[in-house]
Amino acid sequence: MFAFIISRILQALPVMLTVALISFAMFAYVGDPVAIMLGQDFTEAQRQALVKDLGLDQPFWVQFGTFIGNAVQGEFGLSYRLSRPVSDLIAERAPATLELALTAAIVALLIGVPMGVYTGLYRNSWLSRFFLTFSLVGVSLPTFLIGILLILVFAVWLGWLPSFGRGDTVKLGWWSTGFLTWTGIKALILPSITLGLFQLTLIMRLVRAEMLEVLRTDYIKFARARGLPNRAVHFGHALKNTLVPVITIVGLQLGAIIAFAIVTETVFQWPGMGLLFIQSVNQADIPVMAAYLLLISALFVSINLIVDLLYYAVDPRLRIGRGQGAH
């Protein structure tokens, strides 16, 4: 088990290095930070001093090495736009995005899995048909449109929920949470539905397809033939056997939820990393973009590792090293 984790981390290293190279290359090829930072009026001496200060006169590989060295320590330099350390900016924004993504993922799981089980079990009931039609809407409507429609209905027409922002937050150390205030929770509802709706329908359709598959197997028939109650057959024997593919997709989708919260955060002016990223793109704030890119890829790599470990927890056939026993 331990060897497995080590080998997966070693496999992840080239991936991270490649991403680092790409994000670093942005410094050299996207925009000119010196021009941005100096503004309109400057002397040649000022320009050269800044180039030297930023280390831009060093050869490419030396600069890359310095970049990696700093990145490992969580140091991504100063934001060109805000002239503050990038690590501070991200630490400030990350809780908002992570709380939003977590809420969206939990909503998607808690609603998507039972809906999938239901539509798999009672595939001809009118409720299942309704769920399936509804899921088509979730899959096909673009996120920004769903967000705007929700704002129109619940914020503009009904006035029940806020249309933007995070509400009041509470500081827990460096982490700012919106879970502890009523306005914070109200502000979470619309963005998390917007962000989670696609995942919800995806999970529902996946669980349904897997349930239909599993319900045809001999071990389900045998479980019925043993007279086990329906609840044990459906939610124990059947659902557990659908979990491996569901874990895969949910894991990857959790990464996607965090990485692509950009659209939702823009629609709801949610002060998270996605909004920070999109503002940085507009102004070619490369240190922030590079840090964001690295952070997201590190996130995907760790989620993949966790997914692999979950396989082991769920499916005993993947566990090796246990006695194979005499036949």
Partner 1 sequence: MSGQNPLLEVRHLRVEFPTRRGTLVAIDDVSFTISAGEVLGVVGESGAGKSMTGAAIIGLLEPPGRIAAGEILLDGRRIDNLRYEDMRRIRGKEIGAIFQDPLTTLNPLYTVGRQLAETMTTHLPITPAEARKRAIGWLDLVGIPAAAQRIDSYPHEFSGGMRQRVVIALALCAEPRLIVADEPTTALDVSIQAQIIALLKSLAREKGTAMMLVTHDMGVIAETADRVAVMYAGRIAEIGPVRNVVKQASHPYTVGLMGSIPPLDRRVERLAQIDGAMPRLSAIPKGCAYNPRCPKVFARCREDRPDLLPAGATQAACWLYAGEAKTHG
In the complex, which residues of this chain contact partner 1 (CB under 8 A)? 217-219, 221-230, 232, 237, 240-241, 314-317, 322-327
**Nearest to 258, CA basis, from 248, 270, 247:** 270
Q: How many CA atoms lie within 13 A of 155 on its CB side?
A: 18
Q: How far is the CB of 124 from partner 1 (least distance, A)?
A: 10
Alpha helices in the chain (DSSP H): 2-29, 33-38, 44-53, 60-72, 86-121, 126-140, 143-150, 182-215, 218-225, 230-231, 239-259, 261-267, 273-282, 286-314
Q: How far is the CB of 157 from partner 1 (least distance, A)?
A: 46
In whole angstroms, what separates CA 168 from the centre of its chain?
Answer: 23
Q: How far is the CB of 325 from partner 1 (least distance, A)?
A: 5
DSSP secondary structure, 249-313, as one string: HHHHHHHHHHHTHHHHHHHTT--SHHHHHHHHHHTT-HHHHHHHHHHHHHHHHHHHHHHHHHHHH
Q: How far is the CB of 250 from partner 1 (least distance, A)?
A: 18
Q: How far is the CB of 238 from partner 1 (least distance, A)?
A: 9
171 vs 216, beta carbon nearer partner 1: 216
